[in-house]
A and B are shown apart, each in its own frame.
Chain A
C-alpha cells in the first residue's frame, strides 16, 4: 500500500492530483460518481438524421461496439416522441434512392426489416435520355445479373426504421433534444483550479456544450449534422466547393397506374427525374435555374402538371429514335445483344395526372470537407460531402461512411485503441475519401457536361449515351458503380 501511494506522487505536477490520490480506496468509487455527474459517453453523434442514426444503429449491431454508450444530439422533437408514419398519407416529397449496396448495409445492421414495413419501391429498370433526341440509354438490373437497381424510400421511413432498430437493440443510448453550442477538443490545456475533480482524465475526452446548458464528455464526436455542419465548423475543417446556379424542386405526383421504372431526362437547364415511390405515386426531382424554380413553384397545380408532362415528353426536343426501328445505327456492332436492355426501345414515361404534395425548393451546391477527421472528431454524410442529386448518390455515400466508420471503431476496440485517436480515424478517412471524391468528381462532371447547349458537345454527349447503352462492359460497369457494388469507377 505504501508503495502504491509513493508511486502516485511521482512525476505529478498538479497539487490537486497529489491530494486526490492519497485516498486510493475512495478513488474508484469517486470515479463512478464522476461519470454519472458529468455525462460521459464513449461516442457523441451530433445530428440524428438518417446518417447519424445509421452510425448509431451500426455500432449497436457490431459485437465489439454494442457496449459503447452513445449520446445522440438533435433538436428534432420527433426523435424523442417517435416518428409517426400513417399508411394513408401520400408519400412525403423528401425521398432517397437507396442503392443495393446500401440495402445490404441496412440488412447487416438489422434495419431493413423495419423499412419493409412501410412504403418502399424497388425498381429494376431505368431510362436516361436528353432533350436533343440523339440518343438514350436503358438500364436493367438483369444486365448485371441482379434483381434490382435500387429502392426509393421516403426519408422519414428510413429515419424511423433506424430509430426503431436502435430502440429494440440492447444498446446504451441517450437522445439529447438540443443543439450543439460549443465543443472543446483539448480540454486539458485549460486547467481551472475550481473544478479539481473534473480536470482529471481530461486528455481522453472532448467536451460538448449544448444549447440547453447540458455538458457532455465523449471520447469521440461524430459530426452527422448535414451540409451546414456545426461540428465541421467548430473543429475548424476547411471545405472546397461551389454553389451550382441551380435549384431543385421536389414533389410527389400521381399516375393512373403504377410506375415501375426510374426515368431521367436531361433538359437544357437541368435534369428531371421521375422515381417510383409505390402505389401509383412517383417522386419528381427537377433541377432548374433559380428563376425558373420560383416560377414553377408559384404556378397553379394544373399548369405545373402540364409543364412536368411536357418536360418528360415532347418538351425541348424530339424523342430519340428507338433502335429496334430497323436501322442498326453506327454503334450496333458494339454488341447490343449481350445485354438484354441494349435492345429495348424508347419508351415515354407515364403521364402525371395529379400533384400529391407541396412543391419544395432547395438550392444545390457541391461541398467537400478537406479532412474528415481530427483527434476525437469524425465527419460522416453530408457534413463531409454534399453532392448534386442527379444520380441519387448523396445519402448512399453517407450510409457508406457510417458503416465504414463503425467498422473502423470495431477494429480499433479489438486491439485496445483509444477510439478518438487519429491513427485509427485516419483509416476511415483513407477508406472513404477516395471513393467519395471519385463519385463527386463524376457527378460534377455530368452536371457541367449537361449545362452547356452546344451542337458538337450535344452530339458528343449523345454518342456517350449510345455507347453506354450498347457497349455492354461499360454499361455493366456503370450499373455496378451506380449500385454501389464498386467503390471506384471504371475497372478499378
Chain B
C-alpha cells in the first residue's frame, strides 16, 4: 500500500509536467456504440423476444488503456474507453448490482446516507441557481447528470425534485436495474439512463447545469482526468458536486476496517485507502479543471439513531460543491 501511496503522490505532483496517459487513449479508440445493448434500429416487437437484444460483435479495442488493458483484456466491454475507470472496480459492482434497491442489502449505507446527500445538494443547488428552497420541485428546468448513477438511488429523488436527469454508469447491469426501477413510477420514468463513462459523454459535447458524481472518484484510475471530464460536462457557471472519502487514518479505521470488516456493511475490498483523496487534493484537482470549490461538508453517522447528518467534520466522508468558472 505504501508504494501505491507514493505512486499516487508522485502522480499528482507531476501531472502538470506530462499530459495524463489516458489522453492518448481518447484519440486512438475506435468509435463505439452509444448504448451498450440496443441496436440502431428498433427491435421488432415480437412476443417471444428476449429482453436483451443481442449486441453487435465487440469491437476489438486497439487503444491501450493505461492500467488495465493488458491484464484484463478479456473482460473489456466493447463500448467505451475505460480511461478513467478501473475494471476490477467494475467487476466488484457488477457482482452485487441486483441488490441496489434492497435497502437492507449491501447498499444499505448508501440508502441511509442518501437523504443527507440530497439535503446538501438541494440547499447548494437552490442557492446557486436562485431557486425557491420551499418549492416542491425546486429543480424544475435544470438539467442534471448523475455520473456513476448505479441503480439510480440518487437520480430518482433528483427527478422527483423536478430536474431533467441523465444517469450514466460504466456497469451495464446497473443501468438495466436503474431503468426497470425508474419505470415503476411515472415521475421518474423520464430519467435518461445510459451505460457509458464521463469521457465518452464529453466527446459528444453534452453539457449540463449540474454534474453530480457521488462516491465515484475513489474508484477511478485517474481522478484528475475524471474531474476534467466532469468540468467539461458542466456549462459555464454551472455546478459540480463530488463526494468521496478522505484519505485519513480515521477514514481507514471507519470506512475500511469498521465498515468492511467489523460491521460488514460493505463487501471486503470495496474501497482502497490509497485511492481516497484528501479535501486539499480534491480542491487542487477541481481548480485545475476550472472548478472552484464553494462549499464542503462532511457526513457523520450517529450509531444510536442510525442516521447520517451533515457536519463540519470532513475527516471521513465529505462532499464538495464547486462551480465552473465563467470564461
Contact = CB atoms under 8 A, between A and B. Distances in A.
Which of A203, A415, A417 has the most C-beta atoms of chain B within 10 angstroms of its own C-beta? A415
Given A10-B176, A63-B134, A416-B118, A15 B45 contact: yes
B37 interface: yes
B79 to A, nearest CB: 13
Nearest to B157: A416
**Chief secondary structure at chain A's binding surface:** helix
Interface stretch (A1-9, A104-112, A170-178, A287-295): A1-9
Contact of A201 (B37, B47, B52, B189): B189
A352 interface: no
A416 B119 contact: no
A53 to B, nearest CB: 23
B186 A201 contact: yes
B38 A10 contact: yes
A6 B40 contact: yes
A418 B185 contact: yes
Given A203-B184, A415-B122, A11 B176 contact: yes
A5 B122 CA distance: 31
B143 interface: no
A201 B183 contact: yes
Contacts of B136: 64, 67, 413
A7 B35 contact: yes
B51 A11 contact: yes
B324 to A, nearest CB: 24
B1 interface: no
Interface string A190-205: 0000000000111110
A461 B41 CA distance: 84
A325 interface: no
B115 interface: yes
A414 interface: yes
A188 B112 CA distance: 26
Interface size class of A (residues with CB under 8 A): 35 or more
Contacts of A13: 51
A417 B193 CA distance: 19
B156 interface: yes
A17 B42 CA distance: 14
B93 interface: no
Nearest to B121: A415
B184 A201 contact: yes
B82 interface: no
Contact of B45 (A6, A19, A421): A19
A7 B45 contact: no
Contact of B34 (A3, A415, A418): A3
A10 B37 contact: yes
A201 B158 CA distance: 18
B186 A204 contact: yes
Contact of B185 (A15, A22, A203): A203
Interface string B175-193: 0100111011110010011
Contact of B161 (A10, A22, A202, A416): A416
Contacts of A76: none
Contact of B119 (A188, A415, A430): A415
Interface string B265-309: 000000000000000000000000000000000000000011000
A15 B47 contact: yes
Given A11-B180, A201-B183, A201-B185, A414 B37 contact: no
A310 interface: no
A38 interface: no
Given A63-B134, A201-B185, A417 B51 contact: no
Contacts of A416: 118, 156-161
Given A10-B38, A416-B161, 5 more contacts: A7-B38, A9-B45, A11-B179, A201-B183, A423-B112
26 contacts: A3-B35, A6-B40, A7-B35, A7-B192, A9-B53, A10-B35, A10-B37, A10-B179, A11-B52, A13-B51, A15-B45, A17-B183, A19-B45, A22-B42, A63-B134, A64-B136, A67-B136, A188-B184, A201-B185, A201-B189, A414-B122, A415-B115, A415-B118, A416-B157, A416-B158, A417-B160
Interface of A: 2-3, 5-7, 9-13, 15, 17-19, 22, 31, 63-64, 67, 188, 200-204, 411-418, 421-423, 430
